[in-house]
A and B are shown apart, each in its own frame.
Chain A
Amino acid sequence: MKIFEKASVASRKAFLNYGIVLVFFIVFQTLVSTGNISSALKGQLIPIACYMIMAVSLNLVVGISGELSLGHAGFMSVGAFTAVIVSSSMAGSSDMSSLIVSIIVAAVIAAIAGFLIGIPVLRLNGDYLAIVTLAFGEIIKNILNCLYVGIDEKGVHFAFNNPAALAMSATGKVIINGPMGAVGIRKISTFTAAVILLLIILVIIQNLVNSRTGRAIMAIRDNRIAAESMGLSPMKYKMLAFTVSAAMAGAAGAVYALNYSTLVPKKFDFNTSILVLVFVVLGGIGNMTGSIIAAGVLVVLPELLRKFSDYRMLVYAIVLILVMLVTNNEKLKGKIDTFFKKLRMKLSKGGRK
C-alpha cells in the first residue's frame, strides 16, 4: 500500500491498466479451461485482444501525439498479410516460434510502412493530415488487392495483377491471391499470446509516454511553437509516435490474421479504421484504460445484441450515442470523479490503520 501511495499518478495509472488486462485474462482463461464460456464469447477472445492493441496504438497517435489518423487499419493489414507470408514460409517450424517470428516481422514491416507514409503525411496538420491518412489507408488496401504471393521450393514469389506472373514451379502454392485474399492460413494465434502482446505493448506505450520523449511529444501537441522554441523537432517526435503506433498495429494485425483461416484486404477498409477510432474516442482520447475497456465492450456488444435481430445495429448505435453523451457530460464526470476520490480516501484511511 505504501509503495502504491508513493508511486506517481502516472505509474499508478499504468499499473491499473496491467491489472485490468490481467484480470481480463485470468477470468476468461479460467472460464475457458473450466468450460463455462459460450463458444460465441470464446471465439471472440483473440479479436478482442487485437482490437485492444489497435485501440491503444491509435491512442498513441490521436491522444498523445494529437494527430487524427483515419488510416490505422492500413497498418493492421500490412502486418496481417506479412504475418500470413512469414507463417506460411515457416511451415516446418513449431506454432510458437512461427507466431513469434510472424509478429516481429509484421511489426517491423508495418513500422517501415508507417515511416514511409509518415514522411509526407506528418508535414501536414489537422484536417489535411486526417484526410491524407485516410487516403493512405485506402491505397494500402488497393495495393494488397493487386498483390499475388506464391511459395514453392525456391522461395517466395511476388507479382502484381496476375497470379500467372508468379512463375512458380508445379508444386508452388498461391498464398495471397489478390482480392480473394489469403486462404489456408495457419491458425496459430492463442489467447495467451495475444494478451502477452497486449501487455508488452502497454509497457512500451506507457513508458514512452512517461519518458522525456513522451513529454516532448505531448509538448508539441499542446503548443507546437513553444515546443519548437525549446529546441524540440516536431517532425522527429511525431514520426516516432506514428512509426511506433504503426508497428503496434502491425503486430495486432499479425495476431488477428493468424486467428482466421482466411483474410481479404477488403476487411481493412475505412470502416475498420473508424471502428478503432470509435474505441479511442469513446474510451477517452489519451486515456489508455478507456481505450482498452471501450474496445472490449464495443467488440462484444454487437454479438450480445443478436437477440434484437434486425434492430441489432440500431441498438448498437443508440448505445454508442448514450455512452458519448454520458462520458462528455461535465457534471456527471465531476460526480464520478468525486465518488472515486471519496472511495480512495476511505481506502487509504483504512490502509493507515
Chain B
Amino acid sequence: MKKKLLSLILTGAMVMAMAGCGNSGATGSTGNTGNAGTTATATGDGALTGTLKLGVIGPLTGGAAIYGNAVVNGAQIAVDEINALGGGFQIELQAQDDEHDAEKSVNAYHQLQDWGVQAIAGTVTTTPCIAVSAEANSDRVFMLTPSASATTVTEGKDNVFQLCFADPNQGSASAQYIFDNKLATKVAIIYNNADAYSTGIYQTFKAKAEELGLEIVSETTFTDDTTDFSVQVGDAQSNGADLVFLPIYYTPASLILKQADSIGYEPKFFGVDGMDGILTIEGFDTSLAEGVMLLTPFSADATDDLTKNFVEKFTEKFGEVPSQFAADGYDCAYAIKAALEFYAAKNGGLDVTDLSAEELCEILISVFTDADFSADGVTGLGMVWDTNGQVNKEPKAVVIKDGVYVGM
C-alpha cells in the first residue's frame, strides 16, 4: 500500500513538472509571435495607452529576501495606483525570485521573457544584476534597477539605468557628509570583504576620506558567516575611533551594535543604504540603534505629499513602514511610466500593448538620456540620468530616533 502511494505521488510530481515544461514552452512561443514585427502605433492625441508587462527580479527568498520583497511590494503599490487611475494605461506586474544568485537570476530573467516581459524593474541586488544586465543588453530589454548600486551594472550597457546611487557616489558622499558636518576626527571602518557591495563602498569611501584628510584609525573586515564581531569592534575601540563607518547590510550591523553595547563602546555609527531595514529585524532591540546615522535617499517621515501618500498606503497594505528599497521599487514603476508619457506627449501618443521589448527598449533609452526628461519620486525630486545610466539626485542623511528614521 505504502509503495503504491509513494509511486502515485511521485508520478504526480513528474506530471506536474512535465505540465510546467509544456506550459512555459507555449507561453514562450506565443510571447514571441505576439511581439514580432509590430511597430509603435501613434494614436495622435499624445496619450499613453495599452498594457505594459513589467517584470521585477529580486531575492524573494533567502538571506537578502527583505530587499527583494520590499522592492516588489513598493512596485506593487505604484502599479495598483497607476491601474486605479484608469485612462487606458495599465501595468501588469510579475515578480520572479533569484535568491540573490547570478545563475538563478538569469533563469528568472528567461522566465520573464517567456511571459513576454517588455521592461524590467530590476534586479534588486548587485551581482545578479550584472549577470542579467549582460543578457538584457544583448537581447535589447530595458532595465531600470531599483537598488543594484555597483558601477559595473551600467558600464558599457546603454539599456541599463539605476534608480539608486552608484557605489562610488555612496562612499564618497558619506565621507563628504562626515567631513562637512564635522561628525568625527577618527574614523573606523568595518566592512564585509566577501561582498561586492560592501567592498565597493569601502574603496571609494577610503579614497575620498584620504583626499579630505579624514583620519582612518581602524580597518577591519568580516565575511558572510561571521557572527562574532568582538575583534572588529574591539579594534575600533582600542584605536580611539569616535565614528564607525559601516558600509554593510543590516544583519551584521545589528550584531556590531550589540557587541559595541556589551563592551560599553559608544561611538557614532554611520551607515549607507544597506543599513536600511535594521529596525525591522525580529528580536532586535531597536534602542541599540538609537543615534545611528545613515545615508539614504528616502526617509519615511518626510512631510511632502508624495512620501506621505506612499507611506500611508504601504503601511496599510503590508503592515510595516516602507524601507528605502520599497521606495526604490515604487519609484521604478513611476519613472518608467513617466518616461513613456514623455515619449507619448512628444510623438503624438503611444500604445504599448503590442510593442516588442526591443522597440520599447529603444524608446525608453531615448527618453532616459533626453536632457529634458526628469522624474519625481519618493526617493528624490527631479531625478535625471546621464548617458552612463547613473542617476543624479540629492542624498539625505537620516538618524534613528525613538525607533524611527528622522531626517537630519
Across the two chains, which residue of chain B brings its CB closest to A270? Answer: B225
8 contacts across the A-B interface (CB closer than 8 A)? A41-B24, A179-B194, A187-B134, A260-B106, A302-B104, A309-B97, A326-B7, A332-B7
Task: Identify which of residues 310-331 in chain A touch chain B, using a CB-to-CB cut-off of 8 Å.
Answer: 310, 312-313, 318-319, 322-323, 325-326, 329, 331
Task: Identify which of residues 1-18 in chain B touch chain A, using a CB-to-CB cut-off of 8 Å.
Answer: 3, 6-7, 9-10, 13, 17
Is there an interface contact between A319 and B203, defined as CB atoms closer than 8 Å?
A: no
Residues of B within 8 A of A (CB): 3, 6-7, 9-10, 13, 17, 20-21, 24-25, 27-29, 32, 60-61, 96-97, 101-104, 106-107, 109-111, 113-114, 127, 130-131, 134-135, 150, 152, 155-156, 192-196, 198-200, 203, 223-224
- How far is it, in angstroms, between the C-alpha of A319 and the C-alpha of B114 when the chains are bound? 25
- How far is it, in angstroms, between the C-alpha of A181 and the C-alpha of B101 when the chains are bound? 13
Contact of A1 with B by CB under 8 A: no
Is there an interface contact between B107 and A43, defined as CB atoms closer than 8 Å?
A: yes
**Total A-B Cβ pairs within 8 A:** 132
Contact of A163 with B by CB under 8 A: yes
Q: What residues on B are CB-neighbors of A187 within 8 Å?
A: 134
Contacts A36-B29, A38-B114; A44 near B107 (Cβ below 8 A):
yes
4 smallest beta-carbon distances between A and B, as pairs = A261-B134, A38-B28, A180-B196, A304-B20
Q: What residues on B are CB-neighbors of A266 within 8 Å?
A: 127, 194-195, 224
Q: What residues on A are CB-neighbors of B20 within 8 Å?
A: 304-307
Is there an interface contact between B110 and A40, defined as CB atoms closer than 8 Å?
A: yes
Contact of A71 with B by CB under 8 A: no
Q: Name 17 extra pairs, CB < 8 A, besides A43-B109, A267-B102.
A: A38-B24, A40-B110, A41-B110, A43-B106, A43-B110, A43-B135, A44-B110, A145-B223, A179-B198, A260-B102, A260-B131, A262-B130, A262-B152, A266-B127, A304-B21, A304-B24, A332-B7
Is there an interface contact between A267 and B103, defined as CB atoms closer than 8 Å?
A: yes
Is there an interface contact between A326 and B10, defined as CB atoms closer than 8 Å?
A: yes
Contacts A40-B110, A179-B199, A332-B3; A261 near B130 (Cβ below 8 A):
yes
Is there an interface contact between B6 and A325, defined as CB atoms closer than 8 Å?
A: yes
Q: What residues on A are CB-neighbors of B150 within 8 Å?
A: 180
Contact of A183 with B by CB under 8 A: yes
In the assembled complex, how far is the CB of residue A318 from the closest CB belonging to chain B, in whole angstroms?
8
Contact of A23 with B by CB under 8 A: no
Is there an interface contact between A183 and B130, defined as CB atoms closer than 8 Å?
A: yes
Q: What residues on A are CB-neighbors of B17 within 8 Å?
A: 301, 304-305
Is there an interface contact between A262 and B134, defined as CB atoms closer than 8 Å?
A: yes
Interface centre among A260, A312, A323 (most CB of B within 10 A): A260
Q: What residues on A are CB-neighbors of B223 within 8 Å?
A: 142, 145
Q: What residues on A are CB-neighbors of B101 within 8 Å?
A: 267
Contact of A79 with B by CB under 8 A: no
In the assembled complex, how far is the CB of residue B52 from the closest CB belonging to chain A, in whole angstroms?
20
In the assembled complex, how far is the CB of residue B155 from the closest CB belonging to chain A, in whole angstroms?
8
Contacts A263-B102, A304-B20, A305-B20; A37 near B25 (Cβ below 8 A):
yes
Is there an interface contact between A142 and B130, defined as CB atoms closer than 8 Å?
A: no
- How far is it, in angstroms, between the C-alpha of A303 and the C-alpha of B105 when the chains are bound? 11
Contact of A47 with B by CB under 8 A: yes
Is there an interface contact between A261 and B131, defined as CB atoms closer than 8 Å?
A: yes
Is there an interface contact between A40 and B131, defined as CB atoms closer than 8 Å?
A: no
Is there an interface contact between A319 and B13, defined as CB atoms closer than 8 Å?
A: yes
Task: Identify which of residues 22-76 in chain A touch chain B, using a CB-to-CB cut-off of 8 Å.
Answer: 35-44, 47
Interface centre among B25, B27, B224 (most CB of A within 10 A): B25
Contacts A40-B110, A319-B13; A179 near B134 (Cβ below 8 A):
no
Interface centre among A261, A267, A313 (most CB of B within 10 A): A261
> Given A35, A260, A326, which contacts B103 in the complex, CB threshold below 8 Å?
A260
